[in-house]
Amino acid sequence: MGAHESVNEDIWTELRVRLDWQPGFSFIPLYADDQESVAELLSRARDVLQLRAKTVEHLAPSNPDGLAEAVINAVLNAESLHARMGAPLWVELQRNPSDAAWNTAREQLLARLNERRSALALSCPRMLVLVFPTAYARTLPAVAPDLWSVRSYSGFLKPVRRERETVLRDRAGRTPDSAVARTELSASVNVLLNEWRRLTVNPDVRRVSPKPGFELVSALLEGDHVVLASGVAREAADLASRRMEVLGESVERLRDTMAAQVLLSEIETALGSASKPRNHASHAVVLSRRIRELASDTPESLRDLSVSLERLGDAEQEGGRLEAALEAYRESLELSRQLRASLGDTPQSLRDLSLSLNRLGDAEREGRAAGGGAGGVSGKRRSVAPTASESGGHTAEPARSVVVVEQARGCGARRRTARGSSGGVSGGS
């Protein structure tokens, strides 16, 4: 499969046409029992809208209490920023298909929407996507016949195939392991997911931080749920950006936004995207430079910039732009050396320096193997080879993982990363 082929390609084609050509109100009910398939479709919709400086307003209630009221408020609020932008409203209602309380909440919502069907064109001038359990397909037209009659499209999402998960794990550099690779979310991950859904239902951006989203992404990646992690990472990035818009710049808010961009760059690489890793990494570098302007040359700001540059170097190298990769790696190396000079020979500073040296050295060797594509680099090999004092006895390790970011955000990462347990991007206070 290509980077964006899916078992639900037919549904995506229909949805894409409506995203491109159908302004104003439209109602699209979808049916799904697989969270990964919903997350994949939502991620693709976000990608398309991002090109037009739009997003998706996403609601995923975590419990049935107040569900109908929360969704109705979002649907009928024509003056909200999302509504004025024409951003689609995507509401996930598919959880707990056999639970009586959830079914009652779903029916209450549909009944209220059905009553207001004629007013929706004015109060909801945008696409409304409601995702229901598959078993609800017969219930919807019976409970809300007027709403059903004006649907623009409806479709049943097929579960994401197991082969897809294996491909994603391979692209992410992880070895498929049947004991670890799970199609179902673990109880602990479900707790994090439910809490994130609770926090992000009509979130007050002044109070809600993206950090729980980073923790959830870490847990999802631990279980190889890459597509779902991608969706949560986008939500966390959107929340971080909105906090900056509402509350203004601060080092902590810039750092959250930067961390989200590094996450997205790593995840898009795992998903096989060609250009998105570079775009996200470039944005992270811009944000890191701004952090450095505000915070001066603190160890945290230097390390943020070093990690962002290394991610950019990885993205450039993966895209075959070796000269650009070398430029990013060299600047990252200089920052690592500056950190060592400032902090002394701490385990972290030596490990970071060793990693930077090895990343640059690997890129230079690739350039020479390609016939001198990294022109003029070979004469500088002496400065790249780690000396005993610079390497601190550490051996080369793989590129810093996406989980580095969650560790650095104070998320309690669950696995060892290339930058070590101390984290890769400095955490905000």
Query: Does residue 196 fall inside a structural domain?
Result: yes
Q: Over pLDDT 90: what percentage of the chain?
A: 28
pLDDT of residue 205: 85
Encoded tokens for 355 = 């990693």
Amino acid at 375: G
Report pLDDT digits (tens) over 4-23.
456 788 898 888 888 877 67
Q: Which of 52-56, 122-126, 216-220, 322-326 has the lowest mean pLDDT?
A: 52-56
pLDDT (0 to 100) of residue 231: 85
Same domain for 198 and 272? yes
123 shares its domain with 256? no
pLDDT at 51: 66
Q: If you search the block for the tokens 């290339």, which residue do you land on?
A: 418
Q: Mark whether 151 and 190 lie in a shared domain.
A: no
Give the span between the Cα atoms of 246 and 257, in whole angstroms: 14
377: pLDDT strictly greater than 50: no
- Kindly state whether residues 132 and 61 are assigned to the same domain: yes
Q: Among 151-165, 275-289, 357-371, name the one with the lowest average pLDDT.
A: 151-165
Instruction: For 128, list phi and psi in degrees, rounded to 5.
Output: -115, 110
Better-predicted residue by pLDDT, 385 or 369: 369
Q: Are residues 263 and 331 in the same domain?
A: no
Quick check: is 408 in a domain?
no
> What percent of the chain is predicted at pLDDT more than 70?
78
pLDDT (average), residues 125-130? 92
Q: Which residue among 160, 179, 206 closes a domain?
A: 160
**Whether residue 90 has pLDDT greater than 90:** yes
Name 187's Cβ contacts closer than 8 Å, sequence gap at least 6.
none
193-219 per-position pLDDT tens digit:
888 888 887 778 888 999 999 988 888
Q: Does residue 149 form part of some domain?
A: yes
pTM (2 decimals)? Answer: 0.57
182 falls in which pLDDT band (50, 70, 90)? very low
Instruction: Please tell me the predicted confidence (pLDDT) of residue 170.
Output: 40
Whether 349 has a pLDDT exceeding 50, the answer reads yes
Between residues 201 and 278, which one has the greater pLDDT?
A: 278
123 versus 183: which is more confidently predicted? 123
Are residue 13 and residue 142 in the same domain, yes or no? yes
Regarding whether 154 and 198 lie in a shared domain, the answer is no
- Assigned domain for 402 exists: no
CA distance 303 to 390: 17
pLDDT at res. 167:
40
Same domain, 150 and 240: no
Across the chain, what does the average pLDDT equal? Answer: 78
Give the long-range contacts of residues 142-146, CB within 8 A, separation 24 or more.
143/107, 143/110, 143/111, 143/114, 144/110, 144/111, 144/113, 144/114, 144/117, 145/114, 146/114, 146/117
Task: Work out how many domains the chain is built from and give that number.
Answer: 3
| Predicted local distance difference test score (pLDDT) of residue 52 | 66
Give the domain range for residue 94.
9-160
Is 399 a domain residue?
A: no
Q: Report pLDDT digits (tens) over 36-68.
A: 889 889 988 888 887 666 788 898 888 899 899
Residue 66 sits in a domain whose CATH number is 3.40.50.300
Q: Which of 245, 275, 295 is the last residue of a domain?
A: 295
Work out the average pLDDT over 276-292. 92
- As a whole number, mean pLDDT of residues 223-232 equals 83
13 and 125 share one domain? yes
On whether both 368 and 388 belong to a single domain, the answer is yes
- Average pLDDT score over residue span 168-190: 50
- Angle formed by the axes of helices 187-199 and 211-222, nearest 10°: 150
- State yes or no: pLDDT of 427 exceeds 90: no
Better pLDDT: 53 or 273? 273
- Rounded to 10 degrees, the C-alpha dihedral 415/418/422/426 comes to -110
DSSP state for residue 154 in the 8-state scheme: -
Residue predicted with more confidence, 121 or 102: 102
Residue 237 lies in a domain: yes
**Chain center to CA of 11:** 22
Other Cβ atoms closer than 10 A to 50: 15
Q: CA 127 to CA 74: how far, in whole Å?
A: 12
Q: In this structure, are 234 and 348 located in the same domain?
A: no
Q: What is the pLDDT of residue 130?
A: 96
370 inside domain: yes
Residue 4 placed within a domain: no
pLDDT at position 372, please? Answer: 55
Q: Do 231 and 320 fall into the same domain?
A: no
pLDDT at 327: 93
